[in-house]
Structure 1
């Protein structure tokens, strides 16, 4: 999500420098100006809300410069102020015990950088949002524009029956899944006379992915049917190990103001353009945050204020198999090699165990265990692709705090 966000910011900055006209033209790009980037979200959830500050870069692949040492303050319409703590460079958080957003209240964000730059958002009201009445799934078949083929999988849907005054919505989701690698590394190779058992077998982990999809809806015209049977996500079990043990989808439904809806609508348009500023006419860059001392200093990003309703749904491997879906198969490419497999054709030829070990490591394999003869002599070394041997390459062994095993 962060990489895609900064690529969009890069396109926004380029678009900001172009003349918008109908006649053919050669755009004159101004010299690059680093700008403050604000990614801030305040909700009514019991959590540490965040404000992330950075500086824009001239190339989206460059390392982002975090803005540290700033004073970040939230103020509500009752005159209460809350100072955010910098937990990591450029990452400022509220105290979940002291601050929780409240629908109906209006919030203002103030930022003063270490260099003295002063920025302030427009006041933003937190609009209420209705509950997600149900989150469910069913077998589905969707067409892929990328491959030109149909994908078999599971589509997830939500229903929201209650009327709401919000009128504008955004949805996001988080995926968690439990998975086990098929050939975990059991031993650690030192040399052909020293092979030790590993301290921890990294077999089972939990993976997590946050959505980077911009999913918004406008129901001001009274079209609330889009909140019933709304598809929020699709998973193809044959394409990943998400459904091999147990999967969890967490969906958030958020209220938006009309202004924030327009911001996300703009962002989705840039996203659909595929990152090519010449696909469409350049977009106007706008934000609800301004530099109090320099109106020409364009801020990138938006101060988001949303009420949130959330639901989770688990899907077990048993439930996925009951749908008759094709499941994921690991490609481990197991290799068992020893000096016997590399016979010498000249004095000093062949390969030693050490050479075999390093050759496989440098080719993307992980050593998993030794193979001995009946006389307990080292015969071969066993390797697999690293993703099949160490689950921590794609996840963590720490179970999510909310996780419930259903198998």
Structure 2
């Protein structure tokens, strides 16, 4: 049995000197999964350091095409948020994301194929812990561990995302959910236990829903690199770090760097109740 920890995600924007000349680039946050539900694609624009918010990319045409000729349209609900009908990615199908902005620019992703099946979440357990805060008070909290059996003799790249709720009512997963990634390089074919690096309050966070997804290597590299840079207080995507490679491109201007990634994921999910 192996033990490891998951990184805590960060959704706060980071202001970076020297980015003014790289503003106004399309930012794509797109995750399409095997869960039969409404999916949401978020479009925005990168911004100069002097701005405090990210402009939403409104009025775009957004859709997926698979290798069977099926088209899945996403209609804009909130500004910059594009919603599908209830739909699921199909195993073995290959998908491409298309975004046509209001000014006529056409963005297309590389083809992504949904392969493999994520191992089920074998067990979710909680345990109590405590720490002393800056005022010398003992703070008690709960932590959660995920147990799974990693398939042997194959590469697997995992993507988890989770959220807590006092009533167990969970909406569509979005960027407010915590997330983490890992590969099975060090535990291939073994039972493994992951501890979520989040402190839960049993009286408030009574239910926690956790998705476990398998993604391909390139998506894993992209997502884990962003988290690692944020964790080190470095700058994701932009210099001075090496720019991360998106799987989307502007067909009208191939030199334009698109920010973000189209992630295709096989998912399973489970919910744990934290008894007070």
Q: Shorter chain as normaliser: what TM range?
A: 0.7 to 0.9
The structure 2 residue matched to 1:173, chosen from 141, 145, 162, is: 162
SS in 1 for 2:249: strand
Mapping for residues 22-41 of structure 1, pairs under 5 Å: 31-41=21-31
Task: Report the Cα offset of residue 63 of structure 1.
Answer: 2.7
SS in 2 for 1:49: strand
Task: Report the Cα offset of residue 212 of structure 1.
Answer: 5.3
SS in 2 for 1:94: strand
- 8 Å contact kept, 1:83–1:94: yes
Aligned to 1:101: 89
Task: Report the Cα offset of residue 147 of structure 1.
Answer: 9.0
Aligned to 2:184: 219
Aligned to 2:126: 137
Mapping for residues 46-61 of structure 1, pairs under 5 Å: 46-59=36-49
SS in 2 for 1:283: coil
Distance in 1 separating the partners of 2:61 and 2:175? 28
Distance in 1 separating the partners of 2:158 and 2:135? 31
2:113 is the counterpart of 1:154: no
Distance in 2 separating the partners of 1:38 and 1:285? 13
- 8 Å contact kept, 1:175–1:250: yes
The gaps in structure 1 that reach 5 residues or longer are: 18-28, 179-205, 238-242, 318-407
Aligned to 1:70: 60
Q: What is the TM-score normalised by the length of structure 1?
A: 0.57
- 8 Å contact kept, 2:150–2:184: no
Mapping for residues 342-357 of structure 1, pairs under 5 Å: none
Aligned to 1:269: 228
Relative to structure 1, is the Cα distance of residues 93 and 166 closer, same or farther in structure 2, using a 3 angstrom cutoff?
Answer: farther
Question: Could you say which structure has the higher helix fraction?
Answer: 1
Aligned to 1:344: none
Relative to structure 1, is the Cα distance of residues 75 and 124 closer, same or farther in structure 2, using a 3 angstrom cutoff?
Answer: same
Aligned to 1:229: 193
Distance in 1 separating the partners of 2:29 and 2:50? 16
Deviation readout 1:213-262 (Å, 9 max, x if unpaired): 4421111465354x62211244354xxxxx23670010110111000011
Question: Could you say which structure has the higher strand fraction?
Answer: 2
Aligned to 2:260: 301
Task: Report the Cα offset of residue 283 of structure 1.
Answer: 2.6
- 8 Å contact kept, 1:172–1:211: no
Task: Report the Cα offset of residue 143 of structure 1.
Answer: 8.5
Deviation readout 1:181-216 (Å, 9 max, x if unpaired): xxxxxxxxxxxxxxxxxxxxxxxxx89997654421
Distance in 2 separating the partners of 1:73 and 1:45? 18
Distance in 1 separating the partners of 2:196 and 2:241? 29
Task: Report the Cα offset of residue 160 of structure 1.
Answer: 1.2
Mapping for residues 327-366 of structure 1, pairs under 5 Å: none
The structure 2 residue matched to 1:311, chosen from 264, 270, 275, is: 270
Relative to structure 1, is the Cα distance of residues 149 and 40 closer, same or farther in structure 2, using a 3 angstrom cutoff?
Answer: farther
Distance in 1 separating the partners of 2:258 and 2:24? 10
Higher relative contact order (CA 8 A, sep 6+): 2
Larger radius of gyration: 1
Task: Report the Cα offset of residue 69 of structure 1.
Answer: 1.4
Distance in 1 separating the partners of 2:40 and 2:88? 12
The structure 2 residue matched to 1:126, chosen from 114, 119, 129, is: 114
SS in 2 for 1:84: strand
Task: Report the Cα offset of residue 92 of structure 1.
Answer: 0.8
Distance in 1 separating the partners of 2:107 and 2:120? 34
Task: Report the Cα offset of residue 33 of structure 1.
Answer: 3.3
SS in 2 for 1:316: coil
Distance in 2 separating the partners of 1:235 and 1:266? 24
The structure 1 residue matched to 2:216, chosen from 257, 262, 280, is: 257
